[in-house]
């Protein structure tokens, strides 16, 4: 080939172009900021981007710029950060001051209330629950979903109990971890709320809760700790209330010392809406993003006042940098920050309805597993082949619940009421007669075929309603009464608590009259927890608690009533016989005096109180019946002697001895025999839901780690697993123990408060006895 030939010259040109292109690529790569390099660690990318922000840009990231967003920084590829309610689904679009915008494309799947989710005792369903919300939030362009709600039920009167997960920190922790994992796997951040002890809505913005450190760490914080250290939750919301004299959104001990210090939380602490009250306390005590303070947003506590303090030297820049670093960390985790030189990507979310058939089926499945059969004298399941007429009685039979309750409200594409679900199941084979029976408090939201045409039921003459209901009961083969509570003021709703445990609107007397007119009366109650039932419970043959069951609730209820689904729910909260039996009320420790409430019951919350004080509840924690029967046998306790950390495998056999397929929740409680410090009589430390065919038997194994035997010692700043003997109790509720054995810890170990759950405990030789810490309830 000639050196000067056209071919040679062309090859030389191509080589030069290739060399130039490679050189440009290398130069571009060298110039490319670290924060845009996906191969770099998230922490390094956040640090690089932090250094490129001006002080004013940083401050813009730590407070709201609208009802549900914080500002972006377009020049660096930082978008607005979008948040939304809530724990039960993706809330419809709202404007300033929560004005409903009436969009036509923001329908979402209304999931059952999370108290109902907890009643399933099924962590796999919690994962599915979170995934449904995460997928729909992602499609709506939401980055942070404000849920789950992880507060412990201290009083059955709390207006938000329906969106909490019951009275037990272990059950709440297990369900919360799976919920968060399911949701965050969709590329959306969960926000564990309300940190901490938002135990009452009465005076929630100001109430000062006096809680001792051990109670705080053993009862009210474990679910949050699990959310952070096990589920990796990216955001946490501060609560409205005060704890020990400081608002939770400005609480040094909660936010800086425990959450960020002991637990190593790397994400964002966001305030509840309007939960910040002071610039200096919010700045210095761990609040990262202020939300909900009204416009103008530049005047919010963490806006211009914060900027002014930075300029004057009142606040160190390092505090601002820590807040922004956390903000950026979460945005990188969610893959939100993009190269500003690259055109913004179009929305790649799948087209079509947010609420898919698959999501609706999951909602129905959760509802079916949540229903708790409280009583059954061989009336359920109903057999349509033997029934000609059913009287459906009660305002809740035609009520819709999803679009109520406060920030947890959802706008579903439809909602199947109880009456519709029963009608769907029976068709024309059985005659249904409906009677309202009572006026729902506040007026129930009545069902219509198209959402947007909801109507509040008119108030009718009560005596006529009762007479019509009794007449319908007399001519029916079976009565299905569907009553309970609703989301109206003074019942299950944000911003207020119930006044008592009574069924509203004369329902107690109505039920008595119905069962007198027709002894074959099934009572179905919907609501967010316990009600008093003493005046009629002994007279009714069947009782089912259905919580707030979501958009498929009516179909789910019909499936359980007619035996298509065997109920397997268990109570996540104790149902007392009367309000005075509950600990906070027995000790006159609710709602507080002069703005302060002291948690006198200490550790004795829920069943811990009833069991320790030997008070019989109406229905105990963990209780729930089935259409089949189960037998427990062959308990075997196997210590792990090869581990540096005490572990115990609890093994037993569980058999379905009935004629129907069904599921049993096997619950494991630990009871210290001779504790050196005050401890509740027993505590839930393990459970497993098992599905069995008729005649089937399974061997069940549950591992208890050192935490199952531990109590918190504030003086040692750690969790003490004390040497000694422990009873291991296995059964179907806190009061229904079938198997028991004894396990001995040979030595005392202590795990520091700041140790992750997987860290090995340091050994501590017990000397001179163990510290004893008591509250008023424990001394009584």
Q: Are strands 235-238 and 710-713 parallel, antiparallel or unpaired?
A: unpaired
The tokens of 365 are what?
């499945």
| Contacts made by residues 297-305, CB under 8 angstroms, sequence distance 24+ | 297/63, 297/64, 297/65, 297/66, 300/63, 300/64, 300/276, 301/63, 301/276, 301/277, 302/59, 302/62, 302/63, 302/276, 303/59, 303/63, 305/279
Residues 6+ apart with CB under 8 A from 438: 394, 395, 462, 465, 466, 483, 505, 506, 507, 510
Q: Are strands 648-656 and 662-672 parallel, antiparallel or unpaired?
A: unpaired
Cis bond upstream, residue 56 (ω within 30): no
User: Do residues 566 and 627 touch, judged by C-beta distance below 8 A?
Assistant: yes
Q: Are strands 144-146 and 81-85 parallel, antiparallel or unpaired?
A: parallel
User: Do residues 509 and 420 touch, judged by C-beta distance below 8 A?
Assistant: no
Per DSSP, 377 falls in state S
Distance CA(165)–CA(751), nearest Å, equals 27
Determine which one of 272, 288, 581, 713 is catalytic: 272
User: Do residues 439 and 465 touch, judged by C-beta distance below 8 A?
Assistant: yes
The tokens of 607 are what?
């069943």
Residues 6+ apart with CB under 8 A from 458: 443
Distance CA(475)–CA(498), nearest Å, equals 36
361 belongs to the catalytic site: no
Distance CA(726)–CA(475), nearest Å, equals 57
Distance CA(119)–CA(702), nearest Å, equals 20
Distance CA(658)–CA(662), nearest Å, equals 9
* Three-state SS at 334: coil
Distance CA(323)–CA(306), nearest Å, equals 12
Distance CA(158)–CA(156), nearest Å, equals 6
Active site residues: 272
């Amino acid at each position: 080939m000639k050196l000067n030939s056209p071919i040679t010259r062309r090859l030389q040109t191509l080589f030069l172009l290739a060399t130039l292109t490679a050189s440009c690529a290398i130069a571009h790569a060298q110039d490319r900021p670290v924060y845009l390099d996906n191969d770099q660690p998230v922490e390094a990318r956040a640090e690089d981007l932090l250094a490129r922000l001006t002080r004013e840009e940083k401050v813009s990231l730590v407070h709201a710029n609208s009802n549900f967003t914080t500002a972006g920084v377009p020049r660096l590829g930082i978008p607005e950060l979008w948040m939304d309610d809530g724990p039960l689904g993706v809330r419809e679009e709202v404007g300033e001051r929560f004005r409903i915008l009436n969009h036509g494309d923001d329908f979402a799947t209304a999931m059952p209330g999370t108290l109902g989710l907890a009643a399933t005792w099924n962590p796999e369903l919690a994962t599915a629950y979170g995934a449904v919300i995460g997928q729909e939030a992602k499609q709506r362009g939401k980055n942070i979903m404000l849920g789950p709600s992880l507060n412990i039920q201290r009083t059955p009167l709390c207006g938000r109990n329906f969106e909490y997960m019951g009275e037990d920190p272990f059950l709440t922790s297990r369900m919360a971890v799976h919920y968060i994992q399911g949701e965050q796997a969709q590329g959306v951040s969960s926000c564990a709320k309300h940190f901490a002890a938002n135990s009452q809505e009465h005076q929630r913005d100001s109430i000062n809760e006096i809680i001792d450190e051990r109670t705080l760490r053993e009862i009210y914080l474990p679910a949050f700790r699990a959310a952070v250290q096990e589920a990796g939750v990216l955001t946490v919301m501060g609560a409205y209330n005060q704890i020990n004299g400081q608002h939770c959104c400005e609480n040094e001990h909660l936010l800086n010392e425990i959450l960020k210090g002991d637990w190593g939380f790397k994400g964002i602490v966001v305030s509840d809406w309007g939960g910040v009250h002071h610039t200096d306390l919010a700045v210095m005590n761990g609040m990262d993003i202020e939300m909900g303070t009204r416009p103008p947003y530049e005047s919010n506590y963490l806006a211009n006042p914060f900027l002014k303090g930075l300029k004057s030297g009142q606040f160190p820049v390092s505090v601002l940098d820590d807040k922004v670093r956390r903000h950026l960390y979460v945005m990188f985790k969610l893959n939100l920050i993009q190269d500003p030189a690259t055109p913004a990507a179009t929305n790649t979310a799948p087209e079509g309805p947010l609420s898919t058939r698959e999501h609706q089926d999951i909602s129905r499945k959760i509802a079916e597993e949540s229903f708790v059969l409280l009583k059954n004298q061989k009336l359920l399941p109903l057999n349509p082949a033997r029934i000609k007429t059913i009287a459906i009685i009660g305002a809740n039979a035609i009520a819709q619940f999803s679009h109520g309750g406060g920030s947890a409200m959802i706008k579903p594409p439809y909602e199947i009421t109880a009456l519709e679900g029963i009608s769907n199941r029976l068709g024309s084979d059985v005659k249904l007669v409906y009677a309202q029976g009572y006026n729902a408090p506040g007026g129930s939201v009545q069902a219509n075929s198209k959402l947007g045409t909801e109507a509040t039921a008119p108030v009718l003459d009560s005596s006529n309603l009762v007479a019509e209901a009794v007449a319908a009961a007399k001519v029916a083969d079976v009565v299905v009464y569907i009553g309970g509570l609703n989301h109206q003021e003074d019942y299950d709703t944000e911003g207020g608590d119930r006044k008592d445990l009574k069924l509203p609107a004369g329902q107690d007397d109505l039920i008595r009259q119905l069962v007198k007119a027709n002894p074959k009366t099934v009572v179905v109650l919907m609501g967010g927890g316990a009600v008093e039932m003493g005046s009629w419970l002994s007279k009714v043959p069947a009782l089912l608690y259905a919580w707030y069951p979501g958009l498929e609730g009516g179909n789910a209820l019909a499936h359980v009533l007619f035996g298509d689904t065997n109920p397997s729910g268990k109570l996540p909260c104790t149902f007392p016989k009367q309000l005075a039996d509950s600990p906070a009320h027995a000790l006159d420790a609710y709602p507080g005096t002069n703005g302060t409430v002291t948690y006198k019951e200490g550790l004795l919350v829920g069943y811990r109180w009833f069991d320790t004080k030997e008070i019989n509840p109406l229905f105990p924690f963990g209780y729930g019946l089935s259409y089949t029967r189960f037998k427990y046998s062959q308990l075997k306790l196997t210590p792990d002697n090869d581990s540096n950390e005490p572990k115990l495998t609890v093994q037993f056999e569980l058999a379905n001895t009935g004629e129907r397929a069904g599921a049993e929740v096997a619950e494991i409680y630990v009871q210290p025999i001779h504790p050196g410090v005050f401890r509740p009589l027993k505590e839930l430390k393990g459970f497993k839901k098992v599905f069995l065919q008729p005649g089937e038997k399974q061997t069940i194994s549950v591992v208890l780690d050192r935490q199952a035997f531990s109590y918190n010692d504030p003086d040692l700043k750690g969790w003490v697993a004390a040497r000694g003997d422990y009873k291991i109790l296995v059964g179907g509720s806190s009061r229904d123990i079938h198997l028991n054995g004894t396990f001995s810890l040979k030595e005392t170990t202590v795990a520091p408060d700041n140790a992750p759950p997987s860290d090995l405990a340091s050994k501590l030789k017990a000397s001179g006895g163990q510290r004893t810490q008591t509250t008023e309830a424990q001394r009584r």
